[in-house]
Amino acid sequence: MIEFETDVFVERRWRLAHGRDLALGARGVLMGVLNVTPDSFSDGGQLTSVELAVERGRAMAAEGAAILDIGGESTRPGGDPVDAATEQGRVLPAMRGMLDALPETILSVDTYRADTAAKAVEAGAHIVNDVWGLQREPDIANVAASTGAGLCIMHTGREREKLADVIADQFAFLETSLEIAARAGVGDAQIVLDPGFGFAKDARENFAVMARFEALHKLGYPLLVGTSRKRFIGHATGREAADRDIGTSATTALLRAAGAAVFRVHNVAVNRDAMAIADAMIAERNDITG
């Protein structure tokens, strides 16, 4: 394990839209997954109305989710693409319903489309979560810059040649994304990075990113991870997607100890407990070394 170049467990403020911010670093933060889609890999078709989405959001917030991430297009391998109008028809009513029901909860829109991001922030979203790392529609960076939205920039290996070394590929891709953000005028305090577990990575590559996770802190931004129910967990445990929450919680504890700040999960309660154990250990370690 390498030495952290900065103390990743010291509080930093993540600047968000609508005058909001969120403390990162000192304690882990949970982001609940709310897919208002018919075909997401483990929860597609479950939230078929705004009322059902709000009910799920209430439950996740009660279990400890500080952020709810609302997506209207499945990003699973082989998922059917939808047009912007369809995506917005799913996401925007859910976003407005969630804002009315849970005004204190931070809302995130899971989209790579600049137009959807702009309309979602107008509807109340505080964060834009782009699984293409600003490289599918770079204008999404301008949306974040103009609205002050928090911006999650995710690494992906899809539709390009990857470098052989997983960490070198992370740096090559994310540094390009960060250049796009800087040119648009996105502030550093708005940015969180995501190594993109499961996005054009096989099981070995995912576990290699986990094993070398501390190296990503050299990029200088808080890190968000989305391991929840991913295929590489099934590779290790032999379990199908719906039964991977315990395996997910193991990755949450390990990656929290390695300095991850935000955890995007389907099952908030089990990951809350895993994260609490990691946070207790981190606090004790800091007392000993401090």
Catalytic residues: 230, 264
The 10 Å Cβ neighbour count of residue 168 is: 12
Side-chain-side CA neighbours of 272 within 13 Å: the count stands at: 14
- Name the pairing type of β-strands 106-110 and 21-24: unpaired
Per-residue tokens: 289: 């070394």
For residue 182, count CB atoms less than 10 angstroms from its CB and return exposed for 0-12, middle for 13-18, buried for 19 or more. Answer: middle
Residues 6+ apart with CB under 8 A from 130: 111, 112, 117, 136, 140, 151, 152, 153, 154
Sequence letter at residue 44: G
> CA-CA distance, 262 to 255, in Å (whole number)?
10
Using DSSP, state whether 283 is helix, strand or coil: helix
* Length of the chain measured in residues: 290
CA nearest neighbour of 37 among 128, 111, 131, 100 = 111
